[in-house]
Each structure stands twice: as structure tokens, then as C-alpha cells.
Amino acid sequence: KMKLDVDVLRYLSKDDFRVLTAVEMGMRNHELVPTELIDRIASLKYGGTYKILKNLLKHKLLHHDSSKYDGFRLTYLGYDFLAIKTMVNRGVFTSVGRQIGVGKESDIFEVANEDGLVMAMKLHRLGRTSFRAVKAKRDYLRHRSSYNWLYLSRLAALKEFAFMKALENHGFPVPSAVDCNRHCVIMSLVQGYPLVQVKQLQNPEIVFETIINIVVRLAEHGLIHCDFNEFNIMIDDDEKVTMIDFPQMVSVSHRNAEMYFDRDVECIIKFFRKRFNMSFSQRTDDSEDSDADADESDRPSFFVIARTAGFLDKELAASGFTGKDQHDIEKFIEGGDDTDATVDNEGAEDEGVSNLNQTNIEGIDSLTLPEEGEQIPKFNEKVKLEESNNGNKA
């Protein structure tokens, strides 16, 4: 479990944030930002940057590496602090409370504003685990090296925020989107529990209908959730349903749309069959004459629905989420069903993932810090050029 000691926020000075921001800026085109470059960007007087780097390192907001050249990169904690600081400055919330969820690719905390209103803060952490079939996309990851967890997490947050807003506008039962910065989304707190924790329901049939209706209505709006299961559906004491977790959504025009749609439906059916002993007809696997059988089956037909689909593109764009963003994130998310399988070299697929993990999760225990007063070695210009050439091929 990750610790988010926001007390540290109070001890960080303006200059601390200036240097932290300088590292973030450097990470736009450096996996490891050369110390000298950080100093140049931050441009503090009298070599002040070096002292501050040490302080940030002590609080684990940065990772230090001098194996190739001397440099720093943000840890997830450092990125968290930049987002939190920005949100606090905007007045979105004033305090961070307990952790309420650990997702596959996120940490969820309670936050509260001045009036004591409690909200949910989702910090996206792409690259922490293998995001579904990351392996299938190793070529993508190879070209874009590990600093991209930052980019991808930011993209995931922006996408989630944009979709939440659009879905809310169309009357879908989703949390209310409050704000978004970097990899962080603030939304209303959903009362209740994930469906996976619910052992009994007053009206399982009604809840089931409600949930399947959401899948159908989503498709009518041109969208497929793609991760619609008992972990991403919240139920409150009145058995009211709320859908959460949207970074992996795709459009019904996606080439695997029907498969994703059927998988979402099947997930729900399977869960209700097991947990609430509901009975369903067997799945008919021929899509050919499925239209004719549609009435006898419990399954909604993707083709019937998608025919009339309208899209939410305009609203998504209004939140700053573009078609290119969708393309980028789909490339990263989508899985083993992909046909453009490339070079299949031994174990290389895991490399990208474990690199990401090392970068972000493992602390900085193993690094050698310069002693007090010792000069941090300058980075080597030549190394930097080679590095950035490699990094920019993509």
C-alpha cells in the first residue's frame, strides 16, 4: 500500500516546488533529467538547486541515478505532490484523508474541501502493473521509454475526467467529475460498495436489468466500457447502481467493439449467475443469425444497438480529450487480440513493464547520495545527446 504523507507538503518551500517542477519539465524529453539541466530550468541563485534536490530526494519525491550520467526523475509521489499542490492552490480541496481504494492502476483517497465536503481523489498509476496486455504492445513501449508512465497516467486521468463529465451530462449514473490535473481526478464520493463485496440483494433481477441497461445505453451513445465488472460497479444501501473507472473505454467503431461489448455483458451475467443464482440461457456464439434470436436470448445484440449509435466526441473534446489522445491510450491498453504481433524475442516484453515498476515503485534505497558539501558531478554532454537520440526515435 502506498503512503501519502501530505504533511510533507507543508514543509516544502516555494523553491522546492520550483525544482520539482523543473524536473517534471525536463522529463518531457528526458527519461532521467540531467542535474545540470534541472539547475538551468529552475535557475535558483547560488547553486540552490543542489541543496533542494537533496531535500526532495530525502522525501522520496525524486529518484536519483548516476549510472550513465547524473540525473533525477520524478517518483509517483513527486508527481502526486505536484498535482495535489495545484489542486490545493485552486481551492478544490484542502486536506487528504484515508485511502479508500487500491485499483489495478490507481490509488484512491478521500479529500475534503473547506466546507468539509468529502470527495474522492483518484491518482492514476499506469505502468505500476502490466496494464492488461502491455506485453502485446512492447514495441510501443520500447520506443517510448519509461518516462512515459507520466504521460500515460496523465492521459488516463484526462480521459476519465472527460468521459465522466460527458456521461454525467447524458444522465448516466457515474460520480460527478470535479476537477483534473496531471494524473489526478477529483470526483464525488460514491456511497456504497463495489458489487464484488455485496453478498445479498433485495432485488437482484432489478439490479441486473439496471446494469445491462447501462451497457446497452452506453453502446447507444457510441461507447463500450471494456472493464464492466463487479469491481467497477458500486451499489448503495438502496441498491442504486453507480458505474466507475473509464480509462479503457472504446468507441463502438473500434474493430474489436463487438467482442468487448459481449465480454462486458458476459461478465455481468456470469457474476449474477454465480453470486445470486440467477439463470440465463446459454450463450449463442454465432453472430450470423443472432439478430433473429435476440428476443429469446438474455443478451442484447451489439449490432442492433450500434446501428443507431450516436457519439459523445464533441463533449469529450470540450474537456480537452482529443481523438489523438484516444488513439494513444488505446494503443497502450488494448490487448492480446491484436494481430500486428511483432518481434517475439525472449522475455523482452516484460522489460518495459519491470522498468516502469522500478522507476516508480521501488524507493531510492539503493542510491548513493553525495555527502554533505560534496559536489554533485556534472553530467556529461555527450551522454545526453546519445540518450535523447535513442529516446526520440518513436
Catalytic positions are 227
Asked if residue 242 binds Mg ion (CB under 5 A), the reply is no
State which of positions 157-186 bind ligand ADP (CB under 6 A): 175
**Shortest reach from residue 180's CB to ligand ADP, in Å:** 13
- Among residues 69, 110, 113, 60, which one has the least CA distance to residue 88? 113
Laid out side by side, the sheet with 241-243 consists of 193-194, 233-235, 241-243
CA-CA-CA-CA torsion for 272, 277, 282, 288, nearest 10 degrees?
-30
Asked if residue 232 binds Mg ion (CB under 5 A), the reply is yes
Residue 68 interacts with which of Mg ion, ligand ADP, none, CB < 5 to 8 Å by class: none
Return the residue of 38, 244, 250, 257 that touches ligand ADP, per CB under 6 A: 244
156: helix, strand or coil = helix
The DSSP annotation for 180-201 comes to EETTEEEEEPPPSEEGGG----
Kindly tell me which of 232 and 326 has the beta carbon lying closer to ligand ADP.
Answer: 232
Kindly tell me which of 12 and 215 has the beta carbon lying closer to Mg ion.
Answer: 215
Whether residue 261 contacts residue 302, with contact meaning beta carbons closer than 8 Å, is answered with yes
Whether residue 41 contacts residue 15, with contact meaning beta carbons closer than 8 Å, is answered with no
Kindly tell me which of 36 and 105 has the beta carbon lying closer to ligand ADP.
Answer: 105
Kindly tell me which of 16 and 107 has the beta carbon lying closer to ligand ADP.
Answer: 107
Minimal CB distance residue for Mg ion = 245
**Total site size for ligand ADP, rule CB under 6 A:** 18
CA 254 remoteness from chain centre? 20
Helix, strand, coil shares of the chain, percent, nearest 5, are 45, 15, 40
Return the residue of 231, 276, 280, 311 that touches ligand ADP, per CB under 6 A: 231
The window from 187-195, 267-275, 322-330, 369-377 that contacts ligand ADP (CB under 6 A) reads 187-195
**Shortest reach from residue 47's CB to ligand ADP, in Å:** 41
Q: What is the DSSP letter of 98?
A: E
Asked if residue 112 binds ligand ADP (CB under 6 A), the reply is no
Return the residue of 21, 66, 88, 101 that touches ligand ADP, per CB under 6 A: 101
Q: Quick one: 89 exposed, middle or buried, by C-beta within 10 A (0-12, 13-18, 19+)?
A: exposed
Kindly tell me which of 117 and 385 has the beta carbon lying closer to ligand ADP.
Answer: 117
**Shortest reach from residue 100's CB to Mg ion, in Å:** 13
Residue 77 interacts with which of ligand ADP, Mg ion, none, CB < 5 to 8 Å by class: none
Mark residues 245-284: x for contact with ligand ADP by CB under 6 A, - for none. Answer: x---------------------------------------
- For residue 323, the tally of other CB atoms under 10 A from its CB is 11
121: helix, strand or coil = strand
Asked if residue 105 binds ligand ADP (CB under 6 A), the reply is yes
Asked if residue 103 binds Mg ion (CB under 5 A), the reply is yes
- For residue 154, the tally of other CB atoms under 10 A from its CB is 21
Return the residue of 104, 142, 263, 283 that touches ligand ADP, per CB under 6 A: 104
- Kindly give the residue spans of alpha helices, DSSP state H, lying in 91-147: 138-143
Neighbouring C-alpha atoms within 13 Å toward the C-beta of 190: 26
Question: Phi and psi for 315 in degrees, rounded to 5?
Answer: -65, -35
Residue 105 interacts with which of Mg ion, ligand ADP, none, CB < 5 to 8 Å by class: ligand ADP
- Among residues 129, 82, 85, 127, which one has the least CA distance to residue 104? 129
Return the residue of 35, 232, 251, 359 that touches ligand ADP, per CB under 6 A: 232
Whether residue 62 contacts residue 53, with contact meaning beta carbons closer than 8 Å, is answered with yes
Asked if residue 364 binds ligand ADP (CB under 6 A), the reply is no
Return the residue of 97, 173, 194, 300 that touches ligand ADP, per CB under 6 A: 194
State which of positions 117-156 bind ligand ADP (CB under 6 A): 120, 122
Minimal CB distance residue for ligand ADP = 103
Asked if residue 217 binds ligand ADP (CB under 6 A), the reply is no
Distances, alpha carbon 267 to alpha carbons 196, 200, 273, 322, in Å: 12, 18, 10, 29
Residue labelled with grid coordinates 457474476: 271
Interface residues toward ligand ADP, by CB under 6 A: 100-101, 103-106, 108, 120, 122, 175, 187, 189-190, 194, 231-232, 244-245
Interface residues toward Mg ion, by CB under 5 A: 103, 231-232, 245
